[in-house]
């Protein structure tokens, strides 16, 4: 008899998988640092760190907060759901996959954007490399995909296409497609959030009121998607989860939990993002007010100087 052996969570049709029941402890015990996303995280951390190092060598400063946001907040949050037990269970429990989905699509990209990696690259690179990066940033393709309405459409449509077609089951059955979707989640989130945060010199920078409005408009879609999954009379991925025969998990209950995570998580992240945009808007208004004050002070000083000069001309000093 020939026995097929794959990862514990796939092709499990005759009993429980080898994974123990999911718990907070398994997040730290079921670790697998091998994968495409892990490699990309290491490369991104190394390149970013080298850029900061180059700036310091020539005496330039780079905000520590940006480094912490990019490495710990961005890369760290992505690693937390791709190399830990979250990754081990993401094709076993839909609820765990949904946590991973939210982090890869929303949490990680926001922190990556706060790290301003494009700005760091432009300050570090010189000559042909810098010109190449600038030509890419100003290319027609980048202008189109980073246009807020286009990025918004991609960001909103992706989960509906994934979960309500056969694509989702395919990602559970094919490891290469599973990894590709992880990268796709991250890229999609970056396309949506980076132009909204506006720290990097990307094209299509909208005023803050328009950015906040676009963020508000994204909330109902997460709500609709989450509620649809919670109330669905069919299981996502068909009989995939029941065929795992997990004695410690009910696919129907887990799907309700997954929909709730998507609903609540989307609203929480959106509210936090709105708060960030409001703070940026306030800081920009303060900078603009200071700029106007300095311009008025210079104008008053120049007017006073002209008045003093005119006074000297019309009333020359009496020399005897």
Q: How confident is the model at residue 6 (pLDDT cuts 50, 70, 90)?
A: very low
- At 203-250, the pLDDT tens digits run 878 888 888 888 888 888 989 999 999 999 999 999 999 999 888 999
Q: What are phi and psi of 272, to 5 degrees?
A: -60, -45
CA–CA dist 145, 164 (Å, integer): 24
Ranking 48-52, 101-105, 236-240, 283-287 by mean pLDDT, the lowest is 283-287
> Which region holds residue 12: left if phi is over 0, alpha if psi is between -120 and 50, else beta?
beta
Joined tokens for residue 247: 């004695």
CA–CA dist 289, 151 (Å, integer): 32
CA–CA dist 178, 184 (Å, integer): 10
pLDDT of residue 316: 65
The residue count for the chain: 320
Domain ranges of the chain: 30-310
Q: How confident is the model at residue 35 (pLDDT cuts 50, 70, 90)?
A: confident
Average pLDDT, the chain: 86
Residue 2 predicted with pLDDT over 50: no
pLDDT of residue 320: 56
- At 280-320, the pLDDT tens digits run 888 877 777 788 878 777 877 777 777 777 777 776 665 55
* pLDDT (mean) for 7-22: 53
pLDDT of residue 32: 79
pLDDT of residue 318: 58
Residue 277 DSSP code: H
pTM given for the model: 0.82
- At 159-208, the pLDDT tens digits run 999 999 889 999 999 988 999 999 999 999 999 999 888 888 888 788 88
* pLDDT (mean) for 249-274: 92
């Amino acid at each position: 008899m020939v026995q097929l052996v794959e990862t514990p969570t796939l092709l499990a049709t005759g009993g429980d998988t080898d994974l123990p029941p999911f718990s907070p402890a398994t997040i730290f015990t079921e670790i697998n640092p091998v994968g495409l996303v892990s490699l990309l995280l290491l490369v991104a951390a190394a390149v970013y760190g080298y850029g900061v190092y180059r700036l310091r060598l020539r005496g330039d400063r780079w905000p520590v907060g940006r480094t912490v946001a990019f490495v710990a907040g961005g890369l760290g949050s992505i690693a937390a759901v791709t190399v830990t037990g979250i990754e081990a269970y993401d094709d076993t429990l839909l609820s765990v996959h949904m946590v991973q989905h939210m982090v890869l699509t929303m949490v990680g990209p926001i922190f990556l954007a706060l790290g301003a990696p494009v700005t760091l690259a432009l300050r570090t690179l010189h000559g042909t490399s810098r010109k190449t990066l600038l030509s890419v940033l100003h290319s027609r393709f980048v202008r189109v995909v980073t246009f807020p309405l286009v990025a918004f459409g991609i960001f909103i449509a992706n989960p509906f296409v994934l979960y309500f077609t056969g694509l989702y089951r395919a990602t559970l059955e094919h490891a290469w497609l599973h990894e590709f979707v992880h990268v796709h989640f991250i890229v999609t989130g970056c396309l949506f959030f980076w132009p909204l945060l506006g720290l990097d010199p990307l094209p299509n920078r909208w005023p803050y009121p328009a950015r906040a409005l676009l963020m508000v408009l994204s909330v109902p879609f997460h709500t609709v998607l989450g509620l649809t999954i919670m109330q669905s009379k069919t299981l996502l991925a068909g009989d995939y989860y029941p065929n795992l025969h997990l004695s410690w998990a009910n696919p129907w209950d887990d799907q309700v939990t997954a929909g709730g995570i998507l609903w609540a998580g989307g609203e929480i992240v959106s509210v936090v993002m709105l708060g960030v945009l409001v703070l940026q808007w306030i800081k920009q208004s303060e900078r603009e007010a200071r700029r106007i004050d300095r311009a008025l002070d210079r104008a008053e000083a120049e007017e006073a100087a002209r008045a003093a000069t005119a006074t000297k001309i019309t009333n020359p000093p009496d020399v005897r």
